[in-house]
Structure 1
Amino acid sequence: MRLLALSGSLRARSSTGAVLRSALDLHQGPATTADIGALPHFNPDLDGEDATPPPPVAALRTAAAAADAILVVSPEYAHGVPGVLKNALDWLVSSGECVDKPVAVITASPFPTGGDHANAQLRETLRMMSAEVVPAACREIPAIGPKTDPATERVTDEATLADLRAALSHLTTGPASAPA
């Protein structure tokens, strides 16, 4: 199963990046990580009828179209979705690449809530885009800091790794197998 990964953090060394890299290490197939930091600010005038989307937008859409499933891993900023990730989703709203595509949303936070506000917002946005959010594949990882190793930039906590493995299993088997 071809996986497209989207990270809500642009930081080179973030706990979100550690979660994403660990999930990709656990994935049993090909994966692409989209460079959403290169996207221009969403502007429908750049994408209207007879317009050619900017190259980074075209690349994101091509990657989304080629993927069998999408993995979104994000921190939570000010109880919400990071702007860069929302911008990427805005570029995908009307293009159709996410329609009926299985999606997992994983948020991580240094706080006990695990990024629950961002997780809920992302899931709602993706459902509005007609993506198949797989509830059993979605996770909120609390207190992420001590669960990662800055040297390897990976998750080292065995329980968290087992949970990521389970999330990926649900994502790759599809929404039909996931409880509502």
Structure 2
Amino acid sequence: MGDGAAQRLLLNHGPTRLKGPGLTDQAQPTRFSDQEFDNMKLLAISGSTRRESTNTALLMAMQDYLPPGAELSVVAWLDKLPVFSPDAEHGALPAPVARFIELVSRADGIIIASPEYVHALPGGLKNAIDWMVSRFEVIGKPIAIAHASHRGEDMLASLRLVLSTISEGFLDSAFLRIPLVGKSPEDVKTTLQTPDNEAAITQFLATVVASIRSTLTPATPAPASPPESR
């Protein structure tokens, strides 16, 4: 069976369930009600572990420009995940991994922003992706990229390749770049609040949300039972 066929098979398995330390069973619906269209959950993942990361700052700033009905949570703690090993996938997942996978499962879409390290993905981000790649929670999940630098083309090319491989929902057309490299936290805040950058963030999020909504399948009401013959 090819990778595409395997992914389609997994997509048809129905609700996913997560179990892990401190977690209750969580069923992720495969169909969506009209109400859930107005409660969209976005998960923003920072590939940096720096306390004053510009990529993390960019993701945090997005919380102020969300379309109505959308909410965004930021993960900036990939350094808490243990090094991936296939042996660790048997049985209960390590607690930080179980928490991370649960957030991925609950999200309607994902946004990733990352620096480039030695012309490649940072080890922490690659490690997080490795934890997801053999699971089904990320398959078909809409994923978009943001970037807080004027450089990093090698990393971006690699990240696009990886994300388009692990998810058929990768949004290649949705991309946001705002150069923030070398700026202090105060300068970052000022830069993000310029009219042009505010408009760029707003448009990026609107594109991401619209793309996700187009993939959601509203729940189909059950057909009414025919009247009984008398």
TM-score computed with the length of structure 2 as normaliser: 0.67
- 1:42 alignment partner, SS class: coil
| 1:107 to 2:129 alignment | no
Pairing partner for 1:151 from 186, 191, 203: 186
Aligned partner of 1:45 in structure 2 is 87
Query: Structure 1 residues 41, 58: closer, same or farther in 2, change over 3 A?
Result: same
Q: Which has the larger radius of gyration?
A: 2
Question: Does the CA contact (< 8 Å) of 2:43 and 2:103 recur in 1?
Answer: yes
Render the CA deviation track for 1:122-142: whole Å, top value 9, x for unaligned. Answer: 12111111241112212343x
Tell me how many residue pairs correspond in the alignment. 170
Query: Structure 1 residues 101, 20: closer, same or farther in 2, change over 3 A?
Result: same
- 2:120 alignment partner, SS class: coil
Aligned partner of 2:52 in structure 1 is 13
Q: CA deviation at 1:176?
A: 8.8
The percentage of counterpart residues that share the same residue type is 34
Aligned partner of 1:54 in structure 2 is 94
Render the CA deviation track for 1:84-117: whole Å, top value 9, x for unaligned. Answer: 11111111111111111111111222xx43x222
**Hey, what's the Cα distance between the residues in 2 that align with 1:81 and 1:64?**
19
Question: Does the CA contact (< 8 Å) of 1:39 and 1:56 recur in 2?
Answer: yes
Q: Any unmatched runs of 5+ in structure 1?
A: none
Q: Any unmatched runs of 5+ in structure 2?
A: 1-39, 215-230
**Hey, what's the Cα distance between the residues in 2 that align with 1:83 and 1:174?**
29
- 1:81 alignment partner, SS class: coil
User: Which region of structure 1 is more displaced relative to structure 2, 54-63 or 156-165?
Assistant: 156-165
**Hey, what's the Cα distance between the residues in 2 that align with 1:131 and 1:69?**
12
| 1:90 to 2:126 alignment | no
Aligned residues: CA RMSD: 2.2
Pairing partner for 1:31 from 66, 72, 77: 72
**Hey, what's the Cα distance between the residues in 2 that align with 1:145 and 1:86?**
21
